[in-house]
Chain A
Amino acid sequence: MSDKPLAPAIDGWHTMAEKPHLIGSQCTHCDTYFFPPQDQYCRNPGCDSTDFREVELSRTGHIWSYTNACYKPPAPFVAADPFEPYAIAGVQLEKEQMVVLGQVVKGVSVEDLKVGMPMELVLETLHETEEDIKVTWKWRPLAANANNESGA
C-alpha cells in the first residue's frame, strides 16, 4: 500500500467518512434533490428557485441495472496497467427517487450482481497521482460486508 494521502477524485461530491455519503443538493423551494450537487438553478420545470441546501444522500439502495467494463476507457479515465475489468451498477435511492451510477468495488463481478440487490456506498481508489491517492464512490453488495446487517 502506498502511504500517500487520500483525496477525493472529484472535490465536494462525497464525504470522506468510513461510511461515506454522496453530497447532493436539495432545492429549498420544491425539495428536489440533485446529484452532482448544484446550487445555481433548479431544474424542476415548475420551480425557478436559486436557493439550495447541501444534503448527504442515502448511502444504500437497490440495483436498477448493472454491467461491466471489459475494455479500457479513454482518458480522462486513468487505467491500471494491465487494465483490470470492473463492474458498474446503477443504484436506485429510495428516498431521493434517483439512480446513481458508479463502479462496483474490486473483487465483485457481474456474476455476483442481480437487479434489485441491496448495495451500499463505499470509497475506493480510482487512480494514484504523484501527490495522492484519488478515491471515489463505488457500490458494494450490502450482504458482502455485513453478515446479518442486510436484513436489518
Chain B
Amino acid sequence: MANEIAIIGAGMHPWGKWGHNFVQYGVAAAREALADAGVPWRDIRFVSGGATVRCGYPGYVAGATFAQALGWQGAEVNTSYAACASGSQALAAARNKILAGECEVALVVGADTTPKGFLAPAGGYRPEDPDWVRFYLGITNPTYFALYARRRMDLYGDTLEDFAAVKVKNSRIGAKNPRARYRKCFTAEDVAASAMVADPLRLMDICATSDGGAALIVCSLDYARRIGKGDAPRVAAISTVTPTFASGVVEMPDIATDSAAAAGVEALSYRSSIPLKAYEEAGIDPGDVSLAEVYDLSTALELDWIEDLQLAPRGEAAALLRSGDTALGGRIPVNVSGGLACFGEAVPAQAIAQVCELTWQLRGEAGDRQVRGAKVGITANQGLFGHGSSVIVKK
C-alpha cells in the first residue's frame, strides 16, 4: 500500500516509579529501538518526540531534548503534544515525513516522569480552563471513568465481577511482561478488597500513573528492503480524529456535554469514531484483527473499547470477556501486554508502547505472551480535549 511505513525497531524503558528524569527513560528506549533496528544513530534523519507537560521546558521540546541527549547529529526534530495520543501524533509526523520523501528513517520516542496520585491542573483562578473548573468542583479523572462504568451496568447489565475479571485477566498476562510495572497476579477477591475510589470503581479497577519510555524506528518500505527487513511489520493506518458536534457523552475534562438541542446528537460517540477512520484507511475489517491494545484507564473502559473497535456488538463485551475470548488463547486477545492495568499510564510514551507490543507480537517475538498467528493489531486510546488515536499495524 502506498501509505505504509515499516517498523524496524522497538524499545522500551521498563515502566515503574523510578523517580529519574524523563530524558533517561527516552534515551534508554531509543537506544534499545536503534539496536533492535540495527540502524546507527547518525543515520536517523528525523526525531519525533511525544511531549511531556510535567517536566518543564525540556518536556515541551521533547524531540529536541532526546536528540541532544543522544548526541546532536543534525537531524530534523518535531515535538507533538496530544494528551494520551501524543505518541500517535509523533508517529504520524514521522510517517508524513517519510511518505513525503523527506526522510528515510526516523526515531519516534516518548517518555514521562509522573507525580504521585491524581493528575492535577495548573494553578490560579482560571474558570476559562475546563480542566481547572472540574478539579475546583471536585471532579477528578476517575469520576469520568466511573460515570461510564455505571452506564455499562445500567444499560448492559455489566457487573462488578466483570470489571474485576478484566483486572484479573490483564494481571495474569502482564505478570509475564518484564517491561510491566505491576507483575503480580491479582484475584477477584483482591480487587473487591481494594479501596473504593469512585463508585463502582475500586483502586484496582483504575490505572496508576507511571514513569516509562518507549521508542520506535520507522522507515520507508524501500529502506526496509534495502537493509534486509522487507518483512518488518508495517503501520497501515493512524487515526487521530477529533470528536463530532454534538457529542452526547460528557468527556474529560468538560463539566457539560455539547447541547444537541439545535444540531442533534452525533450518532457515533467519539471513542467509536476513532478506530473507524483507522479501519477505513487500512482497508481492514474488524474481523481481520488478531489482537488489540486498548486504553484501559479503568477495567470497565476496556469493555467500552472492545465495542468501539467493533470487536463485539454494543453491550456484548462482557460476554466476550466471560467466555475467555479476550484472554491470551481466545478469539481476540485484548491487552496481552498487560495493558494500563499492569503498566500504569506514562502519557507521552503510552501510545508508542502500544505499537511496540504490536510490533513484537507481529514478529512472533512476544514469548509467553505470544498471540499465535498474529497478523493484524490495532491500538486505541483517548485523552483530554478531543485527542484520541488508533494505529493499525500489520504483517
Contacts and interface: CB of A to CB of B under 8 A. Distances in A.
B151 A115 contact: yes
Contacts of B140: 69, 71, 73-74
A101 B262 contact: no
Interface in B254-290: 255-263, 265
Given A68-B198, A70-B199, A115-B150, A76 B259 contact: no
A64 B138 CA distance: 18
B385 to A, nearest CB: 13
A59 interface: no
Contacts, number: 145
Nearest to B136: A76
Contact of B260 (A68, A98, A101): A98
A96 B195 contact: no
A151 interface: no
Given A66-B150, A69-B143, A77 B135 contact: yes
Interface residues of A, number: 45
B133 A36 contact: yes
B265 A101 contact: no
Contact of B138 (A45, A97, A103): A103
Contact of B132 (A43, A64, A76, A90): A76
A31 interface: yes
A150 interface: no
Given A31-B261, A65-B150, A76 B139 contact: no
B69 interface: no
B154 interface: yes
A100 B255 contact: yes
A66 B200 CA distance: 9
B137 A44 contact: no
6 closest A-B pairs by beta carbon, nearest first, are A67-B146, A33-B259, A74-B120, A97-B260, A65-B147, A32-B262
8 contacts: A31-B262, A32-B263, A71-B118, A74-B140, A97-B261, A99-B248, A101-B250, A110-B199
